[in-house]
Structure formats: C-alpha cells, structure tokens
C-alpha cells in the first residue's frame, strides 16, 4: 500500500471512530433516576392502588441505611383505573424518572389476589424494564402496609421480604415462577402470605413492626381461593419437594412429653396409575433426620426405640399429607402439588386424553400414601437430660 492510500485509510478511521465512541443520545444520569426497591399493589373499590418504595441516595449509608437521620427510602402511593395508570400517577408526582429494574419484591394485596393476578402479570410482561426475578407474595389485608414496616435487620423492608422468600423454599418464588405455573398445564400457583408482626411483646420492650411468612396462598388458575396455615404449610412445601429443613414434633411413643426432629433430607416421589378416567396418584415420601430435642422421659437407646419413633413419625406424616391434600383437592379443588403436570410428564398420552377434562377429574383422583422415615442419630446424648434413671422409660 503506497503512502497516499495509507493517509486516506487513516483519515477515514479517524472520522469514523468518533461515531462509535460517542455517548448514548438517550442516556439518563443516575441522579435523574428514582430507583424503585419494591412494589405493592392493592384493589380499592373499582380502582387499583400502586405503592412503591423508592431509594433516597442521600440517606443511604452504613448497614442500616439510616445515616443523616433518614430511612434510606420513602413511599409513593397512587390510585388509578388500571395498574398501569396508577403507576403513571406516581411518575407524574416525581421529579425523577421512576425506574423498576432494581425492584426486589412484588407484594399483592389479598383482595386483588382473590380477584385474579392475571392483570398484574400482563403489566409485568409487556414492559422490558420489569424484570421477572423479583420475589412475589400475597399479604393479609393491604399490601402497602408491608412497605412501611421497620425490618431493622435489613436496609429496606422490601429486601427483608426478598430474603424471607429466598429462604422459604429451595427454588425462590419469583414473578417467573408464577408465570410458569400460570402458563403450564396441570398445576396451580402457590404463594407465601406475608403478615405485619411485632418484634417483641409490649411488656418485653418497645416493639418494632416486622414481617413474617404466615402461611400459603392457594390459587386456582390466577385467583386465590384459600390459605394453608401452621403445619400444613410445611407439608405442602415438602410435597412440592421445596422444603429446605423440616422440623417436626411428636408425643413420645411411651411415657410423657414430646420429641423434636430435624429432617435435612426429604424427597416426595409421585407415581400415577391410570385406568380409563380412573386416576390414582401414589405418593412415596422418604425422609432422613435426627432428634434435636427430647423433652420427654422416653429414651430411644436401641433399634427398638428408634423403630417406635420412626413408626410414630410415619403415621404422623401419613395423617398430615392426607389432611393437606384433602384441603387443596376437595375444599379448594386446586392442583397445587401439580398432579396434572406429573401425569403430563410421566404419561403424556394419557394427559392428552384427560387434559381437557382435568378440572372435573382432579377432585376424584384417589391418593395412596407411603411414608419411609429413617432416623440416623439421636444426638450427642442418648438419654433425656435432667432425669434420674428411675424416671426414664427405656424401650
């Protein structure tokens, strides 16, 4: 290449490069953006209330987010004819561009959940800025109240909601999880229920408004139709293979008092047996655990005693699973465990034949439950502590 061609080539490169190195024409400076940390959506009469928790950068600092006397966040809340319009009302009241890309959680009020959540999912799938990773939950009462809790252990209340849901199940319940259930055949969504709680009784100290998971919201399609509370929550997540560490207590098989067990290994397996329109679902539950507390006078010091405990635990599990499935299958008629999806995966030809009538077939599905509990250890102490030998009942 001669000198003249080199000069022409270099000149062209110098002229073209600035085009690629120039800044974005539609960029937003960070101090022109209001970052939303969490969203709560409620139904009030015929209108929708959208409430957002927005970060206040000047007040962020340290582990508590409360430097300079501020909380690190504030709440905007507006009513609108639709969810989208109520969100626009928030933008019209804000000097910065509201940005949802860093949202931690989406909280849905109970009244709206019972009406149906498809409208919420519609909004979230149409706007690219709305990511599908925020955690999702339903509340007892109005959702906006969760945004105004203290949640002192985290920087923001919505971050506490996120951490609670992350630790609740093996696979966190996010917007993506809900959409997958709504769009899948043979399974209905299940969402955690949040409740505002006081950190301590008033007589112990000054209580703070905290957040806890108080149960499970059971959906049929996109509508919330009921709830599960107490031990039924553990049994549901166990049946869904989503329980991380299950603790159970039972009365001692002999003597008085209770024993508490921790199960770190548990697995539910489902086997559908189909003859025509008659469907039987075999539930095979396997659990491995250990004694973590013996508040009884029973000492399981040999294989006979451990066998009695395992039998008692198997009976309890059988009873609890039967009760839970009876509630969701017959009372709510919601396929929360996903019997239909299991048939779809294991017996696709049968599912093709049954799917159009599954709503009518599901309540009549017969369930057979087999439980297998194995206790690997009794802990470091073989006998109950603090009791004399003559007070202890040996197996």
For 316-371, the DSSP string reads HHHHHHHHHHHIIIIIS----S-HHHHHHHH-HHHHHHHGGGHHHHGGG-EEEEEE
Strand segments (E) across 205-277: 209-220, 223-228, 246-251, 257-275
Domain containing residue 242: CATH number: 3.30.300.210
Q: How far is CA 183 from CA 188, 218, 227, in A?
A: 9, 16, 22
Same domain flag for 216 and 240: no
Same domain flag for 264 and 372: yes
How deeply is 202 buried, as exposed, middle or buried, from its count of CB atoms within 10 A (0-12, 13-18, 19+)? exposed
d(CA 377, CA 291): 7
Give the single-character DSSP code of 268. E
3 lies in a domain? Answer: no
Q: Which of 229, 259, 276 is a domain's end point?
A: 229
**Blockwise average pLDDT, block size 10, the chain, 395 residues:** 50 51 57 88 95 81 47 90 91 85 93 94 80 93 92 85 94 94 94 87 74 96 96 95 91 90 94 97 96 86 86 96 97 97 96 96 97 78 51 53
23 lies in a domain? Answer: no
d(CA 133, CA 179): 11
8 A C-beta contact, residue 297 and residue 306 = no
How do strand 298-299 and strand 393-394 relate by DSSP bridges? parallel
d(CA 186, CA 184): 7
pLDDT at position 23 is 52
pLDDT at position 391 is 45
5 lies in a domain? Answer: no
Q: How far is CA 300 from CA 320, 383, 384, 390, in A?
A: 24, 7, 9, 15
8 A C-beta contact, residue 312 and residue 363 = no
pLDDT at position 40 is 96
Domain count, the chain: 2
18 lies in a domain? Answer: no
The encoded tokens of residue 375 equal 């206790």
pLDDT at position 124 is 81
> DSSP per residue over 28-78, as a string?
--GGGEEEEEEEEEEEETTEEEEEEEEE-GGG--TTTT-GGG--SEEEEEE
d(CA 342, CA 7): 70
Same domain flag for 236 and 344: yes
Same domain flag for 43 and 164: yes
d(CA 176, CA 135): 9
pLDDT at position 156 is 87
Helix axes 303-326, 231-239, angle to 10 degrees: 90
pLDDT at position 24 is 56
Domain that holds residue 140: 29-229
Length of the chain equals 395
Region of 40 on the Ramachandran plot (φ > 0 left; ψ -120 to 50 alpha; else beta): beta
Same domain flag for 187 and 286: no
pLDDT at position 395 is 59
Q: Which of 229, 260, 282 is a domain's end point?
A: 229
> DSSP per residue over 102-125, as a string?
T--EEEEEHHHHHH-SHHHHHHHH
pLDDT at position 18 is 52
pTM: 0.84
4 lies in a domain? Answer: no
12 lies in a domain? Answer: no
Q: Which of 229, 254, 281 is a domain's end point?
A: 229
Same domain flag for 225 and 237: no
């Amino acid at each position: 290449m001669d000198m003249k061609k080199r000069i022409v080539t270099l000149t062209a490169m110098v002229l073209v490069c600035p085009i690629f190195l120039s800044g974005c024409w539609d960029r937003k400076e960070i101090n022109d953006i209001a970052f939303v940390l969490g969203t709560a959506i409620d139904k009030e009469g015929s209108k929708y209330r959208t409430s957002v928790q927005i970060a206040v950068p000047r007040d962020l600092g340290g582990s508590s987010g409360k430097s300079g006397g501020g909380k690190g966040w504030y709440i905007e809340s507006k009513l609108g004819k639709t969810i989208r319009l109520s969100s626009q009302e928030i933008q019209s009241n804000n000097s910065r561009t509201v940005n949802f890309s860093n949202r931690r959680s989406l909280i849905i009020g109970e009244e709206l959940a019972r009406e149906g959540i498809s409208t919420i999912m519609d909004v979230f799938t149409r706007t690219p800025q709305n990511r599908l990773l925020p955690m999702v939950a339903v509340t007892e009462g109005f959702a906006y109240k969760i945004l105004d809790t203290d949640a002192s252990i985290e920087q923001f209340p919505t971050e506490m909601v996120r951490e609670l849901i992350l630790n609740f199940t093996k696979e966190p319940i996010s917007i993506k999880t809900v959409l997958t259930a709504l769009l899948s055949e043979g399974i209905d969504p299940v969402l955690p229920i949040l409740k505002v709680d006081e950190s301590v009784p008033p007589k112990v100290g000054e209580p703070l408004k905290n957040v806890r998971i108080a149960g499970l919201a059971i959906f049929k399609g996109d509508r919330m139709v009921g709830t599960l509370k107490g031990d039924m929550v553990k049994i549901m997540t166990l049946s869904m293979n989503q329980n991380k560490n299950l603790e159970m207590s039972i009365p001692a098989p002999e003597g008085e008092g209770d024993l508490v067990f921790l199960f770190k290994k548990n697995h539910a397996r489902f086997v559908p047996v189909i003859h025509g329109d008659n469907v039987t679902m075999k539930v095979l539950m396997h659990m491995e655990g250990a004694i973590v507390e013996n508040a009884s006078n029973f000492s399981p010091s040999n294989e006979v005693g451990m066998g009695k405990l395992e039998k008692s635990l198997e009976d309890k599990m059988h009873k609890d699973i039967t009760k839970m499935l009876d509630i969701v299958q017959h009372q709510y008629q919601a396929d929360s465990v996903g019997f239909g999806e299991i048939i779809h995966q294991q017996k696709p030809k049968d599912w093709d034949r049954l799917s159009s009538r599954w709503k009518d077939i599901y309540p009549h599905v017969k369930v057979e439950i087999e439980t297998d509990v194995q206790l690997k250890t009794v802990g470091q102490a073989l006998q109950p502590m603090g009791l004399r030998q003559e007070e202890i009942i040996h197996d």
